[in-house]
Amino acid sequence: VTAISTDPQPTYGPQTVAVTQAALATYRQIAQRGGWGTLPTTLRLSKGQRGADVARLKRRLAIEGDLSPAEAAGDLFDDATFAAVQRFQRRVGLLPSGLVAAATLRQLNIPAETRVRALEKSLERLADSRFAFGQRYVIVNIPAAAAEAIEGGIVRRRHVVIVGKQAHASPMVESRLTVVNFNPTWTIPTSIIKRDIIPRMRRNPATLANMRVRILDRSGNEVSPAAIDWSTERAVNYTLRQDAGPGNSLGRVRIDMPNTEAVFMHDTPSRGLFQSDSRSLSSGCVRVADVSDFVTWLLAPQGFTREQVVE
């Protein structure tokens, strides 16, 4: 699993509006002073290197406060610069390698004006929030692709997650986590039936059998895939349900959170995806790494132990 922030302060808490307002004021000042320019996109900088590009990198890091002004002088990629790069990478949701290359450069080169607009949009969304901060709550930071388990105002656990891809972005929702389902079945949403299942069945009629997906009519009776005309979209009139067990798209756990967007949190059999820096890969729901530890934290007030969760 890729590394994420270890900051004990929640991404979202009662103080978030004030913090965002202060950040917006700071970034507006940076933008008014001309921003921070750009670094060549072909750069590859690492600890021990010297040169004009390193000097530019250090000035860039100092503007946002990842490197102190006192340590920003000179053209040596020293220990302080290495730590500053890691600090920046954690802030933007990248693996904190300390190496400055493609993904880090893309984030460094995002204009200050773009950061200002993002903060303005964040404040607009926060103004509509009616979230009731309790003693224990969970936040999914969609841009950072991370989930935070918060208790007593402190992040007790932070988990790498996979969120919606750009075409099917995870929506902003506020809800209660109500039910933890172990070894769940998966009822395939209509949108995925149209977009994915029907085209795949046209190419390979064995697709649903290979996925261990059953087709049920409105009375709950099982229907043979051969009885459906896959050249049409009539399959959306049926329930397509994947059996629980190995290979199930929801993995071992589904965590329900009632909302109008029909999204939820769940495990996944494709755990290798958690290694990626870019984790906008789902159809809108949130897949959670180390889900057994997350569920153990969720169910701790009910007396559940990790042994009970993973058995």
β-strand partners of 186: 242
Active-site amino acid positions: 266, 285
DSSP 231: T
Long-range contacts of 255-260 (CB under 8 A, 24+ apart): 255/177, 255/179, 255/180, 255/181, 255/288, 255/295, 255/298, 256/177, 256/178, 256/179, 256/180, 256/181, 257/173, 257/175, 257/176, 257/177, 257/178, 258/175, 258/176, 258/178, 259/171, 259/173, 259/175, 260/173
Q: Return the closest-CA partner of residue 5 out of 137, 136, 139, 155.
A: 155
Residue 151, classed as helix, strand or coil, is strand
What CA dihedral angle connects 165, 166, 168 and 170, to 10 degrees?
Answer: 70
Residue type, 62: A
Residue type, 78: D
Residue with tokens 């729901």: 285
